[in-house]
Amino acid sequence: MSALNVFKAVRTVGTALPAEAIPRANELRMPGQTAEAYQLSPGMAVNGAIARAWEAMLAAHRAWHAALKRLPEGDAATKLTRDKWLLPLLYELGWGRPDVISGGLAVPPGLGETEAPHFPISHRLAWPDAANAAAWVPLHLVGAGVNLDTKTAGVTARAPQAMVQDYLNREDRALWAIVSNGHQLRLLRDASSLTRQSFVEFDLDAIFTDQLYADFRVLFLTVHASRFAPRLDDKAAKATTPDADSDGSAEDADIEVAEPKLDNCWLERWRTTAIDDGARALLNLQHGIAAALQELGTGFVAHPANVALRETLAAATDADRDLQRALLRIAYRLIVLFVVEDRDLLHRSDVSEDARTLYADYFSTARLRRLAAEPIGGWHTDLWEAHQIVTDALAGDGLPALGLSGLGASLYSRDALSILDGAKLPNRALLAAVRALAQIDDPVTGLPRPVDYRNLDSEELGGMYEGLLAYTPRYHADERTFTLDVATGNDRKKSGSYYTPSDLIALVLDEALDPLIDEAVRQADPEQALLDLTVVDPFIMRNFGVSRDTGACKGSGSRALSETAA
């Protein structure tokens, strides 16, 4: 849930290294980020080493690209890419001169295999040394003319990334790997328990062509060879440090035979630290959703125009929960739009730039999130009305003027609003709710930071809902407020939330995002579409078929659109 998108050329997919780790590493706030831990020369600071490497590789990248242009069309450029670009880059990142693997690397035969399969990996760095390799990092360096995600006829029998990932999943003595064609460099981790791709990608061309120094800084700090080296655990490392008070006890003798472990390398420490911090950030996000529901609820019941709503609540036998269910749907509609906008999945590829701009400038949740960062108030309700234009379009036939396709998803329908259909919501309440959903306090620094909805997965979404089961909704008619109080065990059992799985989560997963992915697949090259689906987490991977017909938006939404556009 970090603000990873500040780095234009760095992308995380899956859980190899949580996105949480990247901005913290950039600020030197992850374990093992001293000059000594990076194994730098005496007197060399981390920032100085990065600056020196940057200057050297800018020139190397230009020279490599110039040499590529002189090659005949269709040349894989393997030797040129390795010798003139990737190996010099790795040298600056502390890898020295990795061992060349001429015959590939073998793994024990798997189930149904009669021979040990060989993997044509080009290089590796081994510990303690090449002759006595107990652990290593595979480095598969291919040519600039080789695609990492598909096989290249006459060059590779398998997609390079898939091949390296398969090797990692089979080999116990390798935990992390690097694969690169010079254009992109990807960091892979053993993912034998996963069914989808998981990696960190650095767009090398973008970094050096556009001179993205901040992104190169992240590359240096993350892919430096010192991050991968096996290490003693903290207890063993402390015990092996010379101590004048040591009496040579049996415990000390046991420590002497302790060996560095690959799963204790700095990169693994970063991963576990980021996961722990992410769990704390998730707890903060649960509190944010609770705060958003309170802001929305109070905004609705307090608005002077919502007389009918207050009368309905007064007559309801379970007004608290009726209101909570409607508010949850609004909150999740916002969250779903946060996700699809941040992943650039909302609009089809053939949508015009004018429609995209109109949506972004006047109707997007990105705009709401920007407005929520500034003090704003008042009882005007235009922002809520604009948001309903979007949800009406998604629930119905779409709205071409905004580039929106009709998804037929009931989560966005007016019926899903239940007792809140037709109610007014003041701008200040909507923006306060958006702020609570889009921003959390960093669990480490305590400072506010945006939630990274682009990388939100289904487990986090489910965790957010589970956290809300700890609250009991309260509608206070006299004060015209809505609150969520901490529930006791009995309260949860009586409410049914203690036992009942979330039909709302199923609704979000099955309806809200899948049609967008389905639409993208319809337009894409079939082979590439299948690949794309493997890197989209389960949050949007259910097959829910709906109509894609587009048309004019019905009702008051179209009138509001016309007025706004004018």
Residue indicated by tokens 């029998």: 157
Contact 388, 557 (CB under 8 A): yes
Q: Is residue 270 part of a domain?
A: no
Q: Which two tokens stand for residue 373?
A: 């960062």
Neighbours of 521 (CB within 10 A): 15
Q: Is residue 402 part of a domain?
A: yes
128 preceded by cis ω (within 30°)? yes
Q: Which two tokens stand for residue 44?
A: 């060399």
Give the residues across from 136 on adjacent strands.
126
Q: Domain check: are 171 and 239 in the same one?
A: no
Q: Domain check: are 188 and 331 in the same one?
A: no
Q: Domain check: are 393 and 494 in the same one?
A: yes
Contact 383, 427 (CB under 8 A): yes
The pTM of this model reads 0.64
Q: Domain check: are 220 and 100 in the same one?
A: yes
Q: Domain check: are 461 and 537 in the same one?
A: yes
Neighbours of 353 (CB within 10 A): 8
Q: Domain check: are 243 and 322 in the same one?
A: no
d(CA 35, CA 46): 5
Contact 95, 63 (CB under 8 A): no
Total domains, the chain:
3
Q: Which amino acid is at 487?
A: A
d(CA 143, CA 458): 36
Q: Domain check: are 289 and 183 in the same one?
A: no
Q: Domain check: are 99 and 225 in the same one?
A: yes
Strands (E), 386-542: 398-399, 404-405, 439-441, 448-450, 471-476, 481-486
Q: Domain check: are 77 and 180 in the same one?
A: yes
Handedness of CA 232, 234, 240, 242 (dihedral sign): positive
d(CA 465, CA 528): 34
Q: Is residue 275 part of a domain?
A: no
Q: Domain check: are 133 and 246 in the same one?
A: no
Q: Is residue 277 part of a domain?
A: no
d(CA 397, CA 257): 69
Q: Domain check: are 209 and 256 in the same one?
A: no
Q: Is residue 21 part of a domain?
A: yes
Contact 168, 191 (CB under 8 A): yes
Query: What one-character-per-residue DSSP string does 400-422 give?
Result: GGGTEEP---GGGSGGGGGGGTT
Q: What is the largest CA-CA distance in the chain?
A: 85
Cα-based distances in Å from 213 to 52, 57, 76, 94, 220: 12, 11, 28, 18, 10
Q: Is residue 271 part of a domain?
A: no
Within 346-426, residue ranges assigned H as helices are 353-362, 365-372, 382-395
d(CA 44, CA 40): 6
pLDDT in tens, 437-479: 888 776 666 677 777 777 665 556 666 666 666 678 899 999 9
Beta-sheet strand order (sheet of 184-189): 10-13, 199-203, 184-189, 176-180, 135-141, 123-127, 99-100
Instruction: Give the distance from CA 227 to its chain's centroid.
Output: 22
Handedness of CA 209, 212, 217, 222 (dihedral sign): negative
pLDDT in tens, the chain (566 residues): 344 457 899 998 877 888 878 988 999 999 999 999 999 999 999 999 999 999 999 999 999 999 999 999 999 999 999 999 999 999 999 999 999 998 889 998 887 788 888 999 999 999 999 999 999 999 999 999 999 999 988 888 899 999 999 999 999 999 999 999 999 999 999 987 555 678 999 999 999 999 999 999 999 999 999 999 999 876 666 666 555 455 555 455 444 556 888 889 999 999 988 877 766 666 667 788 888 999 999 999 999 999 999 999 999 888 888 898 899 889 888 988 988 888 888 898 889 999 999 999 999 999 999 999 887 667 899 999 999 999 999 999 999 999 998 877 677 889 889 999 999 999 999 999 999 988 877 666 667 777 777 766 555 666 666 666 667 889 999 999 999 887 554 444 444 343 333 444 444 444 444 455 455 445 444 333 333 333 333 333 332 222 223 233 333 333 333 333 33
Q: Which two tokens stand for residue 189?
A: 């981790």
Within 303-378, residue ranges assigned H as helices are 307-315, 319-342, 353-362, 365-372
Query: What angle do helix axes 319-342 and 266-302 make, rounded to 10 degrees?
Result: 130
d(CA 540, CA 456): 11
Q: Is residue 269 part of a domain?
A: no
Q: Which domain holds residue 87?
A: 4-230
d(CA 206, CA 65): 13
Phi-psi region of 452 (alpha: psi -120 to 50; beta: other; left: phi over 0): beta
In which element (H, E) is residue 204 found? helix 204-209
Classify residue 41 as exposed, middle or buried by CB count within 10 Å of its CB (0-12, 13-18, 19+): exposed
Q: Is residue 276 part of a domain?
A: no
SS3 label, residue 184: strand
Q: Domain check: are 388 and 443 in the same one?
A: yes
